[in-house]
Structure 1
Amino acid sequence: MTYGVRQFQLTLMHRMRDLNSDRVQQALTDLRASRAEEGAAHSQWTRRTFYAKGLSPYRSALGEPSYRGEHALGAVTCDIVRWALPYWPGLEFEVMVGPDRRVWNQWFVRPAGDKKVSLAGLRPWTCVIGDVCASFAGARQGEGAAPQQWTVDFVHDGRPYQARFVYGLLQSVAG
């Protein structure tokens, strides 16, 4: 089985199922994909990344990136590489590679810069962590319950909320 953009998108959805199974099921319907295809894509990706490190699995699956740049983290400079994925227009999947050539982080970002959104505008799969942090003063990022999961705690009109993310993409908001 070839592994390309479609399979990579299904791989991302496999982890998103943990927090937003209804949305993943809708996406599978949209893509005319089965749950078995989603699982097979995830398994194939897991094997690929076990044997090939760094950016090579991403480049092999996704082709040439839409963006390449650098990001300084203190005294360390990391490479930033992004790909546009058709199922999430307006967002890009970003991979941060450290000086050791290993992947340090991977998540969705808004390439044009973070967008301010209202509480009602926090809809699953349309916002990234940066959007929530830019929209609510004092928002604080935290780790989620599993790999590639994050939380952002924030207050709106005196009420506490928690936004949950997978690969940096909003899955749900509770308050």
Structure 2
Amino acid sequence: MTPAAPFGPDEFQLVLLRRMADHQPGLVDDALRALGTTRTAMREANKRWQARAHAPRAAGELDRYRAALGEPEARHAVQGFPAGHEAWVWPVPLWPELRFSVFAGPGRAVWSRALVRAPGAPVPALRTVSDLRPWRCVIDEVYAAFRDTRAREQAAPTLTRLDFTLPDGSPCAAEFAWGLFQRLLPVTP
């Protein structure tokens, strides 16, 4: 790939996978095989994405997503937020039951970006720690399923840790990359 090579949905999926490779290398290897590509191509796609983000005359974040992913499948107001807050939503071929959603406020400022469940796609039942399997659920589903769910400070814009309480009263902590569950973490006070 050269800097002038197209950067589209296939390359963007590799960017998502690059962050997940730190947590779920086996699942990422399976996904790369399914996509017919390599870890080298994944790293190159991520490098190109980062270069675009940090270029001196870089487009705004929302415009970078739109340039890579095309026109969104849907755009809608975000409930519970003032006018001007929108969700831009794109399909992600690697995960047909999910969508990549970018939440932007006035002036197109991005305040969140995450994989979310596609409308009408089945939501996994989440009741116990054994229901929490990598790549099975998204952040919103954990918030809905478990009590006392709260986010910890993020280590990076694409990584989120949630602390919550299981129905049996046990504390639990989970880490998400791009909004998709990656792993359980040791519970710390």
TM-score normalized by structure 1? Answer: 0.89
Q: Who is 2:71 aligned against? A: 64
Mark the runs of 5 or more structure 1 residues left unpaired by the alignment: none
Q: Tell me the number of residue pairs that the alignment of Structure 1 and Structure 2 aligns.
A: 175
Task: Give the counterpart of 1:142 among 134, 148, 152.
Answer: 152
| 8 Å CA contact retained: 2:150, 2:163 | yes
Secondary structure class of the residue paired with 1:143: coil
Distance 1:74 1:93, change over 3 A: closer
- State the Cα distance separating 1:143 from its structure 2 match: 2.8
Match of 1:107 in 2: 114
- Please state if 1:153 is matched with 2:163: yes
SS state of the match for residue 81, structure 1? strand
Q: Is the 8 A contact 1:78 1:97 kept in 2?
A: yes
Among the aligned pairs, what percent are the same residue? Answer: 38
Name the one with the larger strand percent: 1
Question: 1:138 aligns to what SS in structure 2?
Answer: strand
SS, match of residue 61 in structure 1: helix
Q: CA RMSD in A?
A: 2.1
Once the 2 structures are TM-superposed, how far is the Cα of residue 122 of structure 1 from its aligned partner?
Answer: 1.8
Decide which moves more: 115-124 or 152-161. 115-124
Question: Which of 20, 27, 38 is 2:24 aligned to?
Answer: 20
Shift of 1:58: 1.6
Q: Which sits farther off after the overlay, 4-13 or 105-114?
A: 105-114
Q: Which moved more, 1:73-82 or 1:156-165?
A: 73-82
- 1:83 and 2:71 matched: no
SS of alignment partner, residue 96 of structure 2: coil
- CA distance in structure 1 between the aligned counterparts of 2:155 and 2:99, rounded to whole angstroms: 24
- Offset of residue 18 of structure 1: 2.3
> Structure 2 length normalisation: TM-score?
0.83
Q: Distance in 1 between matches of 2:83 and 2:184?
A: 34
